[in-house]
């Protein structure tokens, strides 16, 4: 069985979705070296493309490539199974296996550009219904797919995110002394709620003793973040973009607290990374975080500035919240090796098309 993988993710900046796609692709390549990775020509992640041996097909880029050049190539390959790891897939292709990471575009179209939200709300229901099998990164999102698209639960498998690269390889995660740093990692957009985090931090008793570190890149498809420039002038708040993995790992090692106040997520990789390096965790009170991190994190009302401030102060007063063994057990379940194995096994079984007539 030759596997074909839609590698359009090689042309995109690396966030959580692309990280999942890259790491699962590495596992697939390792265990199935005959696999073929197909990409448009505008690759930006060249080292990964070389590692995977990606093949450039077609002349177009972006969605036009995915909806025309890619299926045209696959039809020439007798319509073999096509694995799509990063949310989207060709509508007209009938042998798709697709990973849908979340339904933020459905719940909150205002978080994205109008064009992005409109296209995803047209595309995703159709490819979900017509796919051979679906995968997603938490049971919370699986339940949403079942509910909103009326899909049978048997058509959807959960394949969690995990740690990657140097975050996974570090054998002394707790070797660095903790500093009075509160860390938030994620693309700057309304979904991540950085504005309320800043306000909660400044209202807390910690703002004179701790430094709030915000790390992330603003993606052009997202609506304006609305971060208060006046707040960002505080000496106790620092913002970083274009941070390397090595630099990010250093922040995790030195930070006392990792915070994610997202309004909505599919998984939340920075929380897992922060836990690996012994950070105490403050999460928004959303279903997916309750599912994945309920035994380790402290939760707050992400819309309530006073509650955010209170929970930050509470965390600062606490000693370590969990044993490292708990994190190790979590990583046995949340990892890309298992995710890739589930995807490949589903293709190997050639799960029949399951259509729901509405």
pTM over 0.75: yes
Least confident range of 27-31, 157-161, 301-305, 349-353:
349-353
Q: Give the pLDDT score at 108.
A: 92
Kindly state the helix (H) or strand (E) to which residue 336 belongs, with its residue range: helix 336-349
The class of domain 165-333 in CATH terms is alpha beta
Q: Are 156 and 149 in contact (CB under 8 A)?
A: no
Instruction: Summarize the confidence of residues 207-234 as an average pLDDT.
Output: 72
Q: Give the pLDDT score at 319.
A: 82
Q: Give the pLDDT score at 67.
A: 97
Q: At residue 305, does pLDDT exceed 80?
A: yes
CATH of region 4-162+335-349:
3.40.50.2000
Give per-residue pLDDT as tens, 94-113.
999 999 999 999 999 988 88
Q: Are 355 and 134 in contact (CB under 8 A)?
A: no
d(CA 313, CA 319): 12
What is the residue extent of each domain of the chain?
Answer: 4-162+335-349, 165-333
d(CA 16, CA 267): 9
What token pair was written down for 232?
């960002």
- What percent of the chain shows pLDDT beyond 90? 78
d(CA 17, CA 99): 9
């Amino acid at each position: 069985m030759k596997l074909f993988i839609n590698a359009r993710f090689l042309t995109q900046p690396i966030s959580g979705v692309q990280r999942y796609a890259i790491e699962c692709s590495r596992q697939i390549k390792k265990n199935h070296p005959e696999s073929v990775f197909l990409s448009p020509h505008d690759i930006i992640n060249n080292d990964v493309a070389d590692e995977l041996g990606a093949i450039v097909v077609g002349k177009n880029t972006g969605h036009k490539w995915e909806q025309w050049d890619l299926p045209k190539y696959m039809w020439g390959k007798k319509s073999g199974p096509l694995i799509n790891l990063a949310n989207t897939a060709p509508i007209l292709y009938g042998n798709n296996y697709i990973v849908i990471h979340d339904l933020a575009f459905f719940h909150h179209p205002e978080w994205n550009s109008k064009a992005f939200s409109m296209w995803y709300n047209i595309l995703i229901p159709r490819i979900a219904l017509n796919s051979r099998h679906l995968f997603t990164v938490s049971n919370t999102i699986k339940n949403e797919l079942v509910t909103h698209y009326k899909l049978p639960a048997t058509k959807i498998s959960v394949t969690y995110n995990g740690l990657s690269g140097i975050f996974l390889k570090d054998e002394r995660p707790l070797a660095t002394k903790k500093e009075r740093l509160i860390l938030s990692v994620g693309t700057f957009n309304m979904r991540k709620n950085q504005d309320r985090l800043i306000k909660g931090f400044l209202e807390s008793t910690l703002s004179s003793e701790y430094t709030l570190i915000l790390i992330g890149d603003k993606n052009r498809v997202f609506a304006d973040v609305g971060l208060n420039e006046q707040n960002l002038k505080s000496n106790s708040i620092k913002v970083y973009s274009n941070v390397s993995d090595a630099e990010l790992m250093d922040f995790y090692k030195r930070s006392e607290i990792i915070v994610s106040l997202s309004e909505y997520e599919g998984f939340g990789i920075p929380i897992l990374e922060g836990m690996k390096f012994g950070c105490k965790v403050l999460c928004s009170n959303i279903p997916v975080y309750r599912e994945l991190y309920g035994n380790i994190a402290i939760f707050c009302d992400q819309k309530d500035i006073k509650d955010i401030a209170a929970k930050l102060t509470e965390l600062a007063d606490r000693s370590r919240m969990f044993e490292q063994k708990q994190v190790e057990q979590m990583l046995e379940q949340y990892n890309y090796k298992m995710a890739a194995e589930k995807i490949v096994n589903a293709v190997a079984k050639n799960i029949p098309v399951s259509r729901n007539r509405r």
